Amino acid sequence: MSKLTPFLLLSTAAAAGNLINGNWYISQSPGFDIKLTERKVVNMDPATGTCSKAARPFSGPLAPFDEDISLHFRGPLVLRQFAAYIPTPRAPKRARRNDHADFVEEQKLKRAVGDKVIATINGEEVSWTNQYDGGAPAAPAAPTMTVTAGCGPAKRAVGDMVVATINGDVVSWVNTYEGNAAPAPTQVVTVTVTVPGSCPVSVPAAPTAAPPPPAPAPPAPAPPAASAPPPAQAAPSQPAEVPATLFETPGSSVTAVGDWSQVAHFNSDEKRSSGVTFLNNRGGQGSGVWDTKFGNSLSYASADGKSGAASPELFSGNLGSGLDEIAIFSDVACEKSGDCGYSRPGAVAYKGFAGAQKAFFFEFQMPNDGTSGWNQNMPAIWALNAKVPRTQQYGTCSCWDSGCGEFDIFEVLDPGNTRCKSTVHSLVKGGSSDYFVRPTASFKKVAVIFDNNNVMIRELPGDFNFSAGISAAQITELANHGVEASSVFSFSHL
């Protein structure tokens, strides 16, 4: 299924050699250098079909799976729940220096009444005149941050920790202003104090609450079917703009509950989602693009996954056949994140889920529909380096053939088979002949944990709850559960 590019071996060997029993021997070498590289796409020309690539080195024990990845699903499959977790972000603490400079730094944070204060809040620079004289905060007079132009109120609950960069200095305080907002769960919010430029802001002079994280935005792309001309209707639309998040890892606002926090969730029974975008490879149908050279790009997916859509839609949870695929990305558009790398022009492009520590939870069923045609009755769940679908998932114009990363989590390899295999396709590949039982008649819950040096797949009990937060102890317990009976395969690189 994969064409792998071998390591680049550099030696002092000469060009000539001997063929002995089917193996080439050139000359003795004092050493070898192993360089891990992928060939990333840097340009796609739809007029000529030229795909330009450049070598890009990578390193690290989990590389390239520490980069942002997207999750992909092929029918027949019913996805009841999906959730993504990352280690809970912590508010940065200022280093203490026991010298005079530290004292001076503390002092300069105070501003006299009438002084102009400049702050960066959520990425935008704002300013106001200080009206706080430094005295005890007795009954503060309704300090508020009012956001107009349809941006909604920005308030924090009492007890929330607010971290801000004001006039170049990082400061923090506990919010004590209750206002009229209903109490919310305690939350650690890391901000550089800025509000979207279109939203005028009035901010209190004394440290009060900072603006909340932006509301969840629509998710990202997934893989489509064969490249076929789009219906006449389709004028590709641009991806909807999504508010930038406060955390480096994509997703809507992260509630600091437990050691690992949920950054994305989908529940088809309850018809709700957050922090996700559903895409497929139906570019030219409502969104994205299609051309004769590269075929369909990523597009927003229709609710049933059978076609493209003009804007984000909530996935129904049901992929009826092997011709139906859908992908889950985060809710952060690449144009907002700024760190997706190259994406195919005109494609709907969203960021995946990045980091060397992340966990994905699924509840799904893989019905046997009795079909046996091409690609039929072979459901699958897999992860891709998100650079692949953002360029060309089904074709050669991506980094896939140079090993930038595919992880088949649950994959049925032939029509009607009741066994699911797990395989890694990368510069270093791995797999096992052991298998999971395909859940044809009931739902199965599964966790996939990426934790620095290891990737673990674990079946979960039926009553496992996809809660807002998971403790580090739970993650460790899941990772260690059933290790004795697990099938282990190793793959490594320098």
- For 128-164, what is each residue's pLDDT tens digit? 666 656 554 444 443 333 322 333 334 445 555 555 5
> Which has more pLDDT, 117 or 413?
413
Q: What is the mean pLDDT of residues 19-32?
A: 61
- Mapped onto helix, strand or coil, the DSSP state of residue 390 is helix
Q: What is the mean pLDDT of residues 340-352?
A: 96
SS3 annotation, 441-466: CCCEEEEEEEECCEEEEEEECCCCCC
Percent of residues in the chain assigned helix, strand, coil, to nearest 5? 5, 35, 60
> Which has more pLDDT, 119 or 372?
372
Is the pLDDT at 102 greater than 80? The verdict is no
Residue appearing with tokens 């679908």 = 389
48-56: which pairs have CB atoms within 8 A and are 24 or more residues apart? Answer: 48/293, 49/293, 49/294, 51/294, 51/392, 51/396, 51/397, 53/399, 53/402, 56/399
What band does 464 get if pLDDT is binned at 50, 70 and 90?
very high
Give the count of beta carbons closer than 10 Å to the beta carbon of residue 14: 10
Q: What is the mean pLDDT of residues 170-182?
A: 53
297-301, 347-351, 399-403: segment of lowest average pLDDT: 399-403
Task: Note the pLDDT of residue 18.
Answer: 73
What band does 97 get if pLDDT is binned at 50, 70 and 90?
very low
Task: Note the pLDDT of residue 225.
Answer: 41
What band does 91 get if pLDDT is binned at 50, 70 and 90?
low
What band does 247 get if pLDDT is binned at 50, 70 and 90?
very low
> Which has more pLDDT, 29 or 482?
482
Closest CA to 345 of 405, 396, 303, 283: 283
Q: How far apart are CA 367 and CA 442, in angstroms?
A: 9
Which residues fall within 8 angstroms of residue 99, CB to CB, at 6 or more apart?
A: none
What band does 185 get if pLDDT is binned at 50, 70 and 90?
very low
Task: Note the pLDDT of residue 19.
Answer: 79
Task: Note the pLDDT of residue 209.
Answer: 38
Closest CA to 358 of 445, 475, 463: 475
Closest CA to 465 of 456, 474, 457: 474
Centroid of chain to Cα 9: 33
Task: Note the pLDDT of residue 401.
Answer: 87
Q: How far apart are CA 351 and CA 296, in angstroms?
A: 19
Break the chain into its structural domains and give their ranges.
56-89+216-485, 123-202
Closest CA to 165 of 191, 188, 139, 200: 191
Q: What is the mean pLDDT of residues 276-301?
A: 98
What band does 56 get if pLDDT is binned at 50, 70 and 90?
confident
Give the count of beta carbons closer than 10 Å to the beta carbon of residue 401: 17
Q: What is the mean pLDDT of residues 310-325?
A: 96
- The string of DSSP codes covering 322-356 is TT-EEEEEES-BHHHH--S----TTS--B--B-SS
Closest CA to 387 of 334, 421, 355, 340: 340
What amino acid occupies position 453? N
Handedness of CA 464, 466, 469, 475 (dihedral sign): positive
For the record, the structure tokens of 475 come out as: 């993650």
189, 163 in Cβ contact below 8 A? yes
Is the pLDDT at 120 greater than 60? The verdict is no
What band does 434 get if pLDDT is binned at 50, 70 and 90?
confident
479, 454 in Cβ contact below 8 A? yes
16-25, 31-40, 427-436, 456-465 — most confident range: 456-465
DSSP 8-state class, residue 101: H
Handedness of CA 257, 259, 264, 268 (dihedral sign): negative
147, 201 in Cβ contact below 8 A? yes
Helix or strand (DSSP H, E) at 472: helix 472-480
54-63, 208-217, 350-359: segment of lowest average pLDDT: 208-217
pLDDT tens for residues 400-416?
988 888 999 999 999 99
Is the pLDDT at 181 greater than 90? The verdict is no
